[in-house]
Each structure stands twice: as structure tokens, then as C-alpha cells.
């Protein structure tokens, strides 16, 4: 048995501290490298969109952001809101769906099991506190296929060519820069992707969007409306649009803002 003398014990401790110090430095280098790699990967996958100031402002009121959720989750479940969206939008396993304006994650937690392990839900919002709460909810529920993205009012900052579908539920009327957001969303959509917008039959100042106004604003950027369905159990509709290609988007300077009727 080897008994350490005082000296060898001290030098033993010194070596342990040296090894621990070296490990800390190595860990720090690895972490910096990992962050650098993921930051550059993110930059490569998500180039900044066109800047806000090249787009026209909407020619109608924009509603204030007041809450991370539209209505009580139980009431929405009773009305079968998610099932109606899943059916009308054809949401299936393996799809990648962005929830733009995800708020507290009503759709995130319901779509995550539907798209499954080979699919993905990307929850995007512009309010950091909402995203922090959502991050906790996703972690506590162990939803491994959910990613969280902080966007800006003019740019959802979603990865290029990543989405089969983007949903914008009860939030369109709050988008401060709708023309810019719609334009900057296009590169994230795969060929054949759709966007589904749910909103109330009400003026934008009253937290809805009249369907004619919605269609006009989307057409102004180059989107084409495919369907409009009234949702059962609420005063809301689901409008589905096909996006333009990146090359066919209306250039920002040529976008003519729509007027509320
Ligand atoms: C009324 S909540 C609806 C949340 C959720 N979609 C739902 O159905 O319960 C509206 C959400 O849209 C977000 N929002 C507003 N403007 C936005 C924008 N330009 N881009 C992304 N999210 C936005 C708000 O922060 C808020 O979380």
C-alpha cells in the first residue's frame, strides 16, 4: 500500500488542481467552439431577411400584443380547434411545422406528438418572456422535437427551406410589419409548403382580420389563397395560402398596402 507523505500529498493535490485547471480550460475551449459552430451553422441556415424599413407599413391599425394565449385551452379543446386545423391543413407525422406567434404554446404541445419523432415543431415568437415560459413548458413535457426561435416583427428568422407548413394562429392582426414578415418567411418554406392563418372575423383593432383584408395583404406579397373555412365553435376562420417562390415575391418597393374596408 502506498502511503503519501506530506510532500507527495501536496504535489499530488497540485497535480490534481493542474489537471482540473487543464480540464476547465479544455471544457471552456470546447464550449466556445460548440457555440461558434452552432452560431455559424444558425447564420448559414438563417440569413437575415430584408430590413424592415424597405417595406410599407400596413394601412390599417395593428393590435397591441397583450397575451401569449388567445383563449382558455380547455375551451379550445372542447371546440375541437386543433383537430379542425390538423384536418384542413393535412398535418401528418414527419412534417416540420412553424408556429409563428406561438405564445404559451397551445399548438406547440398539441402538434408535437402529431408530427412525431421524425417531424419538428418550430415555435417562434417576438416576446422573450413568452419564449422563456414556453421553453420551460417544452422542457417539462420532454418534447424533444420542438425548437424555439426568437424572431422580429419583420423577420421570423426561420431556417431556409425547412418548413412544410407555417401556422399563424390568432396573431396576424398583431404583426407590426406584415408585408416584411410575409416576404421574409418565403425562403423558409419548402416547395409545396402552405401557410395557415387563423383569425377572428373582426377588424384588426379588435384582434381579428377581415378575410378580404387578409387576402389582399397576402396577395400584395405574392401569396395565393387556396381556401377559407369558418371554424366550428368560434368566431374564427382558417385561411390557407400557397406562397410565391423566392424569385416571384413582390419586391418590397413594389408592395402596395391594402386598405381596411
Ligand atoms: C394572442 S397570442 C396567440 C398565441 C397562440 N398562437 C395561440 O393561438 O394561443 C399572439 C402571439 O403572437 C405573438 N406575436 C405578435 N406579433 C408577432 C410577430 N410579428 N411575430 C411573431 N409573433 C408575434 C405575440 O407575442 C403573442 O405571443
CB 103 near ligand 1, within 6 Å:
yes
pLDDT band, very low/low/confident/very high, at 244 (cuts 50, 70, 90) = very high
Average pLDDT of span 233-255: 97
CATH number of this structure's domain 53-254: 3.40.50.150
pLDDT above 50 for 32: no
> Over 70: is that where the pLDDT of 40 sits?
no
- Atom 14 of ligand 1, nearest CA residue: 101
Question: Is the CB–ligand 1 distance for residue 69 below 6 Å?
Answer: yes
Q: Is 106 in the pocket of ligand 1 (CB under 6 A)?
A: yes
Q: Which residue has the higher pLDDT, 166 or 4?
A: 166
257 and 220 Cβ atoms separated by less than 8 Å: yes
pLDDT at 46: 80
Cα–ligand 1 centroid distance for 129 (angstroms): 12
In angstroms, what is the span from residue 171 Cα to ligand 1's centroid? Answer: 5
pTM of the model: 0.85
List strands edge to edge, sheet with 120-125: 146-150, 120-125, 96-100, 163-169, 189-200, 236-242, 224-230
| CB atoms inside a 10 Å sphere around CB 116 | 13
Ligand 1 site, residue 127, Cβ cutoff 6 A: yes
Percent of the chain with pLDDT over 90: 81
pLDDT digits (tens, 9 = 90+) for 203-226: 999 999 999 999 999 999 999 999
Give domain limits for the chain.
1-45, 53-254
Query: How much distance in Å is there from the Cα of 41 to the middle of ligand 1?
Result: 27
pLDDT (tens digit, 9 = 90+) per residue, 159-202?
Answer: 999 999 999 999 999 999 999 999 999 999 999 999 999 999 99
Residue nearest to atom 15 of ligand 1 (CA): 174
Pairing outcome for strands 163-169 and 120-125: unpaired
Mean pLDDT estimate for the chain: 87
Q: What is the pLDDT of residue 164?
A: 98
- CA dihedral defined by 24, 26, 27, 33, rounded to 10 degrees? 140
Amino acid at each position: 500500500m502506498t502511503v503519501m507523505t506530506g510532500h507527495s500529498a501536496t504535489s499530488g493535490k497540485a497535480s490534481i488542481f493542474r489537471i482540473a485547471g487543464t480540464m476547465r480550460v479544455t471544457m471552456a475551449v470546447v464550449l466556445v467552439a460548440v457555440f461558434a459552430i452552432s452560431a455559424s451553422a444558425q447564420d448559414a441556415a438563417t440569413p437575415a431577411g430584408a430590413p424592415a424599413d424597405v417595406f410599407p407599413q400596413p394601412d390599417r391599425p395593428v393590435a397591441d400584443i397583450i397575451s401569449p394565449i388567445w383563449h382558455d385551452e380547455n375551451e379550445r379543446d372542447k371546440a375541437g380547434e386543433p383537430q379542425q386545423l390538423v384536418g384542413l391543413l393535412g398535418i401528418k407525422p414527419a412534417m416540420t411545422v412553424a408556429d409563428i406567434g406561438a405564445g404559451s404554446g397551445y399548438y406547440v404541445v398539441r402538434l408535437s406528438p402529431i408530427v412525431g419523432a421524425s417531424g419538428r415543431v418550430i415555435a417562434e415568437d417576438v416576446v422573450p418572456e413568452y419564449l422563456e415560459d414556453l421553453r420551460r413548458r417544452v422542457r417539462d413535457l420532454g418534447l424533444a422535437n420542438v425548437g424555439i426561435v426568437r424572431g422580429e416583427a419583420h423577420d421570423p428568422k426561420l431556417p431556409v427551406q425547412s418548413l412544410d407548413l407555417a401556422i399563424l394562429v390568432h396573431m396576424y392582426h398583431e404583426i407590426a410589419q406584415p408585408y416584411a414578415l410575409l416576404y421574409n418567411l418565403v425562403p423558409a418554406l419548402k416547395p409545396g409548403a402552405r401557410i395557415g392563418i387563423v383569425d377572428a372575423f373582426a377588424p384588426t383593432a379588435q384582434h381579428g382580420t377581415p378575410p378580404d383584408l387578409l387576402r389582399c395583404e397576402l396577395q400584395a406579397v405574392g401569396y395565393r389563397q387556396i381556401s377559407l373555412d369558418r371554424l366550428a365553435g368560434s368566431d374564427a376562420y382558417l385561411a390557407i395560402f400557397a406562397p410565391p417562390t423566392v424569385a416571384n415575391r413582390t419586391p418590397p418597393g413594389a408592395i402596395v398596402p391594402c386598405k381596411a374596408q
